[in-house]
A and B are shown apart, each in its own frame.
Chain A
């Protein structure tokens, strides 16, 4: 089985975000970048499938040159080779990204293309499904369990209050939800081997697409808490505050 995993370089979720001088982008100085955590579930799932079927796992990343490091992480985990679709900066429009990825994936002859269900930097949850549409393939999102036998797949999706079970045939697009697996850490040997694995860099020039960021703002500072009182006597005041001030009751 030939599997592609699409991964993205994103700021570490522990990073304290600062907005850049232009007011439209984040200030990247001092920001640590990591592979998108949901994409790590996708990589792990690809590696598990490869271990069962002896296939090939190709990691694909669209991003700036520094994304080579993101791809090396996937290679160190066990992916066989990497493809970097290199751009100066990432377009905001997920459709532009999806088109570029679809053009690359179309030629690859993949049985399965895995994505994370969303990237933690933009929360679009769009690219995976868009690629499915562009390639005319079945697309199953936010999967927490995946089983594949002879080109036939069963997936579980967590939906409000229950589990949805979906059947589909390969080739297909699957996006990974937290809980699908526990991603492995790259081992020392994996890191050494990763250096020698092929990493193909293709320069792309993409238009900005139909979305323009006008302004970025940080969420307002959370107000400090207030102790209303102690014991049962304080309950009416608390209920009043929740109802009339916080308006949550």
Chain B
């Protein structure tokens, strides 16, 4: 039987660089700050807090650099509303950033006391040994939303200006130097004309712009492309779908699973964490290099909940929140060769700083923010924010535990490019040999280059109690984006039925539908997970406050 296969990259638009990198003069009505962090996640906020602290200490010693304005831009309507993570977090950078705060006073939920990893088949589960990289002794279960709001309060106390509801839509440049960003206009009608509540885009000028936009950051991508900054491998991504449940039955341990419901041609696994004994976060994470065009991460997450490992915890409970987000998974070889430039640094997920074998990125994000703050402070002190001066950020990173750890596990995720079973064997050997096996570097291609083949799939119907349709799910993400907003997605003009169906399955938020062989785009449903930007129509930022409103994700 001949099956057609499609390569998503063949249908992807290029980044609209003429709109994203703008060299025309800044408008007169601009706002000036000294340092601007783009994105109020763990990276941007940790950076802002550390920088404010260094400036304060410097001024207290006399002969300091004086008052510095530090701004943080955030596209969500309120802090944490676009933040989603598992999350089991490593508290290390919290202790470094707040040496006077006791662990009990951090915004964590429960300390990990028990954990288990299971290998799933369709109806059974078998406990398997926990790999060393996944041991969570000393780590905490947390809600990244709560962490981000807490960091936001600390930042505000330190005098940082936080602008929630203002996405950055373009880099402002002079020659090779980044001189700030332009925000995104609000209140546009569907045809792009100003409506009621129209607010024009504003230029924000900064001596240093720190791009901390999170996974698949638009301006970070745009900067790297503009400057021709490569990485040894392209960045690759996974898509995670997560739900928060209030359960009748308590959960007392952190659970990870491998195997079912994923096909052998996909890489990923599931998680279930107790924030409280009866408040449980669960989800499924799947590499976007999956080969089956019908693979649907949301639907697999729904099926997964019916498995005997999950179902007993969820029955009689209530799903209170739903969300989705991509994760950069390329590791060491996908980190851009330079994370700094004239007037700019790139932090956290936007720079690919995620430790995939331990399934963690929050501590790396914060640590990169702390290092960036040190480099930016030194640059301000010397009144020189050139690339040469800001290269101190990369030096700090390169000398850190972060890059050291990422180097040791550099090929672990990449091994799975050839499928799960051979991948697990290789990954095991890598762990035993400290990353030396198999040696060299495993080449990978962009997720969008992986060919997709359509296979037969069973229709799935949700029951509204344990399982939910995508439309119900989007409602539970808190998404109340205005229906009359202009579409922020850029599909190719010639999307046939097959590609439209691939998009339909790929998007967890029912943005895409195949109707009579054509693609229909329900843009307001988008929860900014960015999977579409990785393998489908390109994503651009919408007016502030659009998208999900996560509370405790």
Give residues in A with beta carbon < 8 Å to B. 14, 16, 30, 32, 182, 184-185, 187-189, 191-192, 195
- B161's nearest neighbour on chain A, judged by CB, is A192
- The answer to whether B161 touches A185 (Cβ under 8 A) is no
Contact yes or no, A30 B551, CB < 8 A: yes
Indicate if B78 sits at the interface (CB-CB under 8 A).
yes
Contact B197–A182 (Cβ < 8 Å): yes
* Residue numbers in B under 8 Å from A184 (CB-CB): 197
Interface presence of B31 (CB below 8 A): yes
> Are B549 and A189 in contact (CB-based, < 8 A)?
no
**A236 smallest CB distance to B (angstroms):** 30
Closest CB in chain B relative to A218 CB, distance in Å: 13
Known: A14-B478, A14-B549, A182-B196. A188 touches B320 (CB 8 A): no
B199 in contact with A185 (CB, 8 Å): yes
In the bound complex, how far is the Cα of B197 from the Cα of A148, in angstroms? 24
- CB-CB under 8 A from B271, the residues of chain A are none
Q: Is there contact, CB below 8 Å, between B197 and A191?
A: no
What separation, in Å, do the CA atoms of A173 and B186 have in the docked complex? 33
In the bound complex, CA of A13 to CA of B192 (Å) = 29
**CA of A185 to CA of B202 in the docked complex: distance in angstroms?**
14
Additional pairs, 10, CB under 8 Å, beyond known A188-B166, A189-B202: A14-B549, A30-B551, A182-B197, A184-B197, A185-B165, A188-B31, A188-B163, A191-B161, A192-B161, A195-B161
Known A188-B166, A188-B204; judge A32-B78 contact (CB<8 A): yes
**Cβ–Cβ contact B202 & A188, under 8 A:** yes
Are B552 and A30 interface neighbours, CB within 8 A? Answer: yes
Q: Is there contact, CB below 8 Å, between B320 and A16?
A: yes
CB distance from B150 to the nearest CB of A (A): 13
For A188, list chain B residues within 8 Å (CB).
Answer: 31, 163, 166, 183, 202, 204
Is B480 engaged at the interface, CB distance under 8 Å to the other chain?
A: yes
> B163 is contacted by which of A14, A16, A30, A191 (Cβ under 8 Å)?
A191
Partner of B197, one of A30, A185, A195: A185
- A192 contact from B31, B78, B186, Cβ within 8 A: B31
Interface residues of B in 140-194 (CB under 8 A from A): 161, 163, 165-166, 183, 186
What's the minimum C-beta distance from B277 to chain A, rounded to whole angstroms?
15
Central interface residue in A14, A188, A191, A195, by most chain B CB within 10 Å: A188
Cβ B480 vs Cβ A14 within 8 A: yes
Q: How far is the CA of A195 from the CA of B163 in the complex (A)?
A: 12
Give chain B's interface residue range (CB within 8 Å of chain A).
10 to 19
CB distance from A96 to the nearest CB of B (A): 30
A185: chain B residues within 8 A (beta carbon) = 165, 186, 197, 199
Cβ contacts under 8 Å, A16 to chain B: 320
Contact sample, A vs B, 9 pairs, CB 8 Å cutoff:
A14-B480, A16-B320, A30-B552, A32-B549, A185-B197, A188-B163, A188-B166, A188-B183, A192-B31
CB distance from B33 to the nearest CB of A (A): 8
**B478 cross-chain contacts in A, Cβ below 8 A:** 14
Bound CA–CA A31/B368 (angstroms): 31
Task: Report the minimal beta-carbon distance from A3 to chain B, rounded to whole angstroms.
Answer: 23
Nearest CB to that of A15 among chain B residues?
Answer: B551
In the complex formed, the residue of B with least CB distance to A182 is B196
Per-position 1/0 for B251-263, Cβ under 8 A of A: 0000000000000
Q: Which residue of A lies closest to B202 (CB)?
A: A188
Smallest CB gap from A34: residue in B: B78
Closest Cβ–Cβ distance, residue A118 to chain B (whole Å): 22
Interface pair A189/B31, CB less than 8 Å apart: yes
Contacts of A14 in B (CB 8 A): 478, 480, 549
Chain B residues whose CB sits within 8 angstroms of the CB of A32 once the complex forms: 78, 549, 551
CB-defined contacts of A191 to chain B, threshold 8 Å:
161, 163
B77 closest partner in A (C-beta):
A32
> Using Cβ atoms and an 8 Å threshold, which residues of chain B touch A192?
31, 161
Q: Give complex CA distance A184, B186 in Å.
A: 11
Query: In the complex, what's the smallest C-beta–C-beta distance from B68 to chain A, in angstroms?
Result: 14
**CA–CA, A14 to B478, complex, Å?**
8
Specify which chain B residues have a CB less than 8 angstroms from the CB of A195 in the assembled complex: 161
How far apart sit A191 and B186, CA to CA, in the bound complex (Å)? Answer: 16
CA A16 to CA B552, docked complex, whole Å: 12
Which chain A residue lies CB-closest to B73?
A: A188
Name which of B320, B549, B551 has the most chain A CB atoms within 10 A of its CB: B551
Query: In residues 184-220 of chain B, which contact A (Cβ within 8 Å)?
Result: 186, 196-197, 199, 202, 204
Binary contact readout B65-107 vs A (1 if CB under 8 angstroms, 0 otherwise):
0000000000000100000000000000000000000000000
4 closest residue pairs by CB, A with B: A188-B202, A30-B551, A30-B552, A188-B31
Of A32, A184, A195, most B-chain CB atoms within 10 Å: A32
Least CB distance, A177 to chain B, in whole angstroms? 18
Return B329 CB to nearest CB of chain A, in Å: 30
A226 nearest CB across to chain B (Å): 15
Instruction: With both chains docked as a complex, state the minimum distance between the C-beta of A35 and any C-beta of chain B, in angstroms.
Output: 13
Closest CB in chain B relative to A159 CB, distance in Å: 26
CB neighbours (8 Å) of B163 from chain A are 188, 191
Q: How far is the CA of A184 from the CA of B551 in the complex (A)?
A: 25
CA gap between A108 and B57 in the complex, in Å: 41
Complex formed: what's the CA distance from A14 to B549 in Å? Answer: 10
Q: Across the two chains, which residue of chain B brings its CB closest to A191?
A: B163
CB distance from B152 to the nearest CB of A (A): 11
Bound Cα distance A153, B232 (Å): 71
Chain A minimum-CB-distance residue to B204? A188
| Identity of the chain A residue whose Cβ is nearest the Cβ of B183 in the assembled complex | A188
> What is the CB-to-nearest-CB distance from A8 to chain B, in angstroms, rounded to a whole number?
18
Instruction: Name the residue on A nearest B165 (C-beta).
Output: A185
A111 to B268, CA, bound (A): 65
CB distance from A76 to the nearest CB of B (A): 10
B residues 329-377 near A (Cβ < 8 Å) are none
Query: A67 CB to closest chain B CB, in angstroms?
Result: 15
Distance A16 CA – B183 CA, assembled complex (angstroms): 31
Closest to B478 in A: A14
Q: In chain A, what residue has the closest Cβ to B200?
A: A187
Min CB distance, B370 to chain A, in Å?
A: 25
Residues of B within 8 A of A189 (CB): 31, 202
CB distance from A41 to the nearest CB of B (A): 14
B280 to A: closest C-beta gap in Å: 15
Which residues of chain B come closer than 8 Å to A187, judged between CB atoms?
199, 202
Contacts of B166 in A (CB 8 A): 188
Q: How far is the CB of A63 from chain B (nearest CB, A)?
A: 18
Q: Smallest distance from the beta carbon of A114 to chain B beta carbons, Å? A: 21
Min distance, Cβ B419 to any Cβ of chain A, angstroms = 41
Inter-chain CA distance A16–B549, complex, in Å, is 12
Docked Cα-Cα span, A142 to B478, in Å, equals 30
B164–chain A nearest beta-carbon distance, Å: 9
CA gap between A184 and B197 in the complex, in Å: 6
Give min CB distance, A75 to chain B, whole Å: 14
**Nearest-CB residue, chain B, relative to A32:** B78
In this complex, what residue of A is CB-closest to B145?
Answer: A30
